Structure 1
Amino acid sequence: SQFTSTAFRTALAAKGAIQSMSSVGRCYDNARMESFFATLKKEKLYRIDTMKMTQEMVKTIIFRYIQYYNHRRIYSTNDGLPPLSKRALYHCTVAA
């Protein structure tokens, strides 16, 4: 895949990034991120014509969507709470 290519690994090393990949057959290791990116595409990116936008415009749209997703979007597996609200509730419960 593109994530195991020499060019990709070289680019990561040049930026000082460490690649993290699960072993073959462990597809659930990254399930939450796969779910997030699928939601981002379905709810935002597939609904706009990104080909007519600058890279900065697309970055801004994605940044705003991430803010919305984390702070306001209802998430069914979090008891109807956005991710950051659920996290705050969890930390309050653990601290008590």
Structure 2
Amino acid sequence: MTKAPESVALDQLDKEQMKTFSDFLMSYNKLSEMCFTDCVRDFTSRDVQEKEEKCSLNCMEKYLKMNQRISQRFQEFQMITNENAMAMAKKTGQL
């Protein structure tokens, strides 16, 4: 028995959402582990030291800014690539 097109589309959407959420969790876990490893040094107390808290906040902020900048540069690169492809298609008469 075949599925209705709507059902197939919903299944595909669910898979994409699960992949996006999985990617988010992987990134979050990587960030958490990296900042924890870099910033937490004292395990003799249950309290988070002010120095550790500042370090982890700075770590997170740097990581997020870096990630945002990479995404921005990737978008710029994609726009240039698309513009070049369009120009080439016009030049060769394929458009």
TM over 0.5: no
* TM-score normalized with structure 1 length: 0.36
* TM-score normalized with structure 2 length: 0.36
Structure number with bigger Rg: 2
Which of the pair has the greater relative contact order for Cα pairs under 8 Å at 6+ separation?
A: 2
Which structure has more helix as a fraction of its residues? Answer: 2
